[in-house]
Structure 1
Amino acid sequence: MVKLIWIHILFICLFSQQSFAQKDSLDPYMVSYAEKVIVSASFQSNTESFVLSQQIEENKHNLEFYPNIKNQITFGLTYKMIDISFGYTPWFFKSNADKYKASNFNFSYRFNHKKWYQSVSFVKQKGFFTEFLDDKSLYLPSFRSIKIGGTTSYVFNDKFSFSALFNQNQWQIKSAGSFVPNFSFFYTSFENKDDKADFNLEMYSFSLTPSYYYTWVIDKRVFLSGGAGVGAGVEIHNKKTSPVCQVIFNSKLGYNTTSFYSYLEVNNTNFIFNENRARLDDTSLNALVAVGFRFDPPKKAKKLYDDTYNFIQKKIKKETKSL
């Protein structure tokens, strides 16, 4: 991963002095690519872990679980209302593939309306290690985690392009920042798939996290973005409710042209639950290197999309009038 980071930085240094492409936009702060098809691929290294904490008499015991698979490839597609991505780990990226059975898969969908942004995600992992008895690692092939949820964000500053970070269908061309409150909801299940009676945890978490994001346009093609936030909410586990704290951090170094972009991103999300009883802390640190291309959609694909969209709009209007 370190080599990929240095390669990406070298790439930016070599090409940052290239001529700046003319863009069709009257907005001095951003350029929109709403009519472009955007495809992307990224290599991700994820160090998500779960820490199970239990208070037994006067002593607190922590047990950490971390997945066997940490690296994956993610593919994305964006065109107007379509904004999806899915990731998995091919066999040649799996460590100890012959010895341990493990799998992972994630899917996400994103959309926005004016200043509102919404993301929905599904993450499934199977095969975990845990430290057991004098720091010896124990592999649990039947343990799996499932996380389903989403985040709703509202951007206050019209000069700041959250889409440039959200799905790359805009390009921030002048430095700007914005206050962005985020409301998140997640359902997390962590269990022994072969024997749920032996180990089965289910949690619901709701949090409101005020945050601030800023994009610094270093060069005509190079930008550096960052954001951080701390919030609070509630967590429901075994029909009991307790406070939860959410901490988020995001940073991105990118290179952008009209038809091509590349970026290095590091983001962290940490849910910290009540310490007075059994709980499961969920920490996710994710680093990725991504490349993407923007191009005009094929005429047949554009016609199919427009026809489908118009048909749905007519059905909605018809059903609304009949109410």
Structure 2
Amino acid sequence: MGLRPSSKCRKPRGKTRECSPKSKRLDMKSWFPIVAIFSAPCFAQQDSIAPYFREFEDKISTQLFVLNKSNDFVISSENEDVEVNIVPNNKTTLNVGFQYDIVAFSFGFAPKFFADNRDNKGSRMTSFGLEFFPGRWMQRLEYHNQKGMSLEPEGTSVKLYYKNLESTRIGGSTDFFFNRKFSYRAIALQNVQQLRSAGSFSAGLNYHYSSLDGNNEPGIEGGIKFYDIAFTPAYHYNWVIGKHINLVGGLSIGAGINFTNDEGDETTSALYTSSLLLAPGYNSENWFFGANLRASYSDRQVNSGVTVGDSMVYATVFVGYRFDAPEILVERTKQIKSKFQKVKQ
């Protein structure tokens, strides 16, 4: 049976490449992720159908963005009819990001001119991520650590701050998008622009390690660890409103399994997840700006009648500019891709 992907991209005069999809029979043996990492993420039609997206080829995208990211927890006990929210002392960071080809990275700091950074009470937050977009695959890795959190019982005005209470989250996700007319890079990166409205279902695997640790904080005993893995099907749609304006929405609902270690007391339970994405944006030849809001929630039962949910919220506003990549970077990238193409053959 067999299907083999083929791509042919139309590159007009100028600095970008326009691509549109064509479906052909594929050889399943050729589908190896390590090969796909440097495969061209665009497909072309030989007929008159207009392209669905274009790449800003050999361009480096730089952006300045404001980011607020937090990992909240909620512990619920049905037996005692108690619900406690564990909320970090959030920080807003100013970041600089760089994107080239299929890779993106960024770094930032928390300046004092943001109001919520002026009273951090000794708290800290460290977070970074790495994303790859080989063709229709998306690979995301992340690390998030926060120290200094408050316990807020539901239905009361009580707020107990613990400067040593700490949470850590390490993990990632692997996703595959089925529709060749849709490019997720147009959402997560800024080196692709969706030209015509398109949506896509995706199949994903989400895997994370999370922990809550009291660090000998008075009144807080021990810690708890979670190991989560879930299948996360999703749907995303990129609505092209005008030549330069678009609005993206996405929704995912998944399920999996959780392993919990509560001071040596180990339990296994079902895991339920959901996530939401909303991202308006403006995209021109060189300048781009927009906003991105992502929220995810996971819920698992750790003991009889006790459930722990955690949410990850990511909100950012950005502005950026594209410029030509240095020749040495362009040539080096071509050499690497050429080597992987030889392996594929």
For this structure pair, what is the TM-score category when the shorter chain's length is used for normalisation?
Answer: 0.7 to 0.9
TM-score of the two chains, using structure 2 as the length reference:
0.76
Q: Percent of aligned pairs with the same residue?
A: 27
Structure 1 pair 96–258 and aligned structure 2 pair: CA distance change class (3 A): closer
Deviations 1:257-294 (A, max 9, x none): 12121111222101011274434211123322111222
Aligned counterpart in structure 1 of residue 319 of structure 2, from 288, 291, 298? 291
Deviation at 1:200, TM superposition (A): 0.8
Deviation at 1:89, TM superposition (A): 2.1
Indicate yes or no: 2:274 matched with 1:271.
no
The equivalent residue for 1:208 is 231
Indicate yes or no: 2:284 matched with 1:254.
no
Aligned counterpart in structure 2 of residue 142 of structure 1, from 161, 164, 168? 164
The equivalent residue for 1:156 is 178
**SS at 1:59 equivalent:** coil
Tell me, in whole angstroms, the C-alpha distance in 1 between the residues paired with 2:311 and 2:19: 42
**SS at 1:69 equivalent:** coil
Deviations 1:187-238 (A, max 9, x none): 1111123459823111011111111111110000000110101111111102
The equivalent residue for 1:222 is 245
Structure 1 pair 260–252 and aligned structure 2 pair: CA distance change class (3 A): same
Contact 2:95 2:106 in 1 (8 A): yes
The equivalent residue for 1:168 is 190
Moved over 6 A (4+): none
Contact 1:68 1:129 in 2 (8 A): yes
**SS at 2:187 equivalent:** helix
The equivalent residue for 1:233 is 256
The equivalent residue for 1:8 is none
The equivalent residue for 2:10 is none
Aligned counterpart in structure 2 of residue 33 of structure 1, from 51, 56, 61? 56
Tell me, in whole angstroms, the C-alpha distance in 1 between the residues paired with 2:96 and 2:193: 20
RMSD: 2.8
Q: Where is the helix percentage greater, Structure 1 or Structure 2?
A: 1
Tell me, in whole angstroms, the C-alpha distance in 1 between the residues paired with 2:281 and 2:174: 24
Contact 2:89 2:120 in 1 (8 A): no
Structure 1 unaligned spans of 5+: 1-20, 318-323
Within 5 Å, give how 1:29-108 maps onto structure 2. 29-46=52-69, 48-55=71-78, 58-93=79-114, 95=116, 97=118, 100-108=121-129
**SS at 1:274 equivalent:** strand
What letter corresponds to residue 183 of structure 2 in structure 1?
A: S
What letter corresponds to residue 170 of structure 1 in structure 2?
A: V
What letter corresponds to residue 59 of structure 1 in structure 2?
A: E
Tell me, in whole angstroms, the C-alpha distance in 2 between the residues paired with 1:252 and 1:150: 21
Deviation at 1:301, TM superposition (A): 4.4
Structure 2 unaligned spans of 5+: 1-13, 21-50
Which one has more relative contact order, counting CA pairs under 8 Å at least 6 apart? 1
Aligned length: 292
Aligned counterpart in structure 2 of residue 198 of structure 1, from 221, 225, 234? 221
Query: Relative to structure 2, which stretch is displaced further, 200-209 or 127-136?
Result: 127-136
